[in-house]
Amino acid sequence: MRNQIFVLFDKAVEFHLTVDDGAPLASDAARSWLDKQFLELECEPLRASGKVLTADKVLVVTQAAGPALLADEKWAAQYASAVYAALGRPMIRVDVPAMAITY
């Protein structure tokens, strides 16, 4: 089975990524990858409290990466694996303009 991740930047820019069930990334490895990207892309927490939920981290990493990094096949494959493993849902939609994740 293939798990799907849709990333929407605007009406004209959308990415459709797939993740095979074959060798899923461990959830701790996924969180570690997202943490690394959060720091490398110099992301800021969404909440004033400074607490960063996994879904919030996915949103801000996606926003900071933008279409340029998602167009990079290697980065996009790592991103898709990490998002799937971190959120654990078969279909995920990351809507950057709305700053929302739906399942």
Q: What is the DSSP string of 41-78?
A: TT---SSTT----HHHHHHHHHHHHHHHHHTSHHHHHH
> What is the tally of structural domains in the chain?
1
Query: 49 versus 82: which is more confidently predicted?
Result: 82
What average pLDDT does range 65-82 have in this prediction? 96
* pLDDT greater than 70 at residue 68: yes
Q: Which residue range is the domain that position 45 belongs to?
A: 2-102
The model carries a pTM of: 0.92
Average pLDDT over residues 52-81: 96
What is the reported pLDDT for 1?
Answer: 63
Q: What is the pLDDT of residues 7-20, one digit of tens each?
A: 999 988 999 999 98
